[in-house]
Homo-oligomer: A and B are copies of this chain.
């Protein structure tokens, strides 16, 4: 069988989230070529023979947005879509990944105009089926923050409880009760206060916290 085998086009698409001004944003690029020239799209591209899907992700991200994969604090594969090919051949298979980061500035690169983080609440029309991929990623993130500490990847190393709560609110898209949030989150024993306060603005300084462990932890008792 294998001697006549021809593989379908394999592509790779990325949903990179970041919190900016207490808003959840996603990294988009403006396509410089047909198809969908001039439209906003997720940064994505071809996955060539010899490259694993993470190799492809690394290359695509760097080429299209100037972001190094090592700058992402959390990466997870999402789903593999049967989709429209990037070229006129028609059908393609596209593996999508979600990445979480903080404080990243995408760079203008040769192959794309204007990589930029756009608030998820206010997305422009996207090329291909990318709107549904963003949606899928957002839902995954929402459920993941519920049963893990993955929010660490979107926060600075030292953060206040208000910043933490605000991250959850940005991800869920709704407000949470301050006292209940603090009580519940502290009971998970994922974070501890550090010997430092955040002094900023004309108000009482805030206790800073840090996560107890680096990396992903899965909770038995879910959050929200």
Contact = CB atoms under 8 A, between A and B. Distances in A.
Interface in A33-54: 45-54
A23 interface: no
Interface residues of A, number: 29
B77 A79 contact: yes
Contacts of A93: 10, 47, 52-53, 95
A110 interface: no
Interface in A41-81: 45-54, 77, 79-80
B91 A7 contact: no
Contact of A5 (B1, B5, B48, B79): B48
Contact of A53 (B2, B7, B50, B80): B80
Interface string A150-170: 000000000000000000000
A15 to B, nearest CB: 15
* Copies of the polypeptide in the assembly: 2
A31 interface: no
A87 B7 CA distance: 13
Contacts of A138: none
Contacts of A54: 82
Contacts of A7: 7-10, 47-49
Contact of A6 (B49, B52, B80): B49
Interface in A134-188: none
A8 to B, nearest CB: 5
A197 to B, nearest CB: 38
Nearest to A92: B7
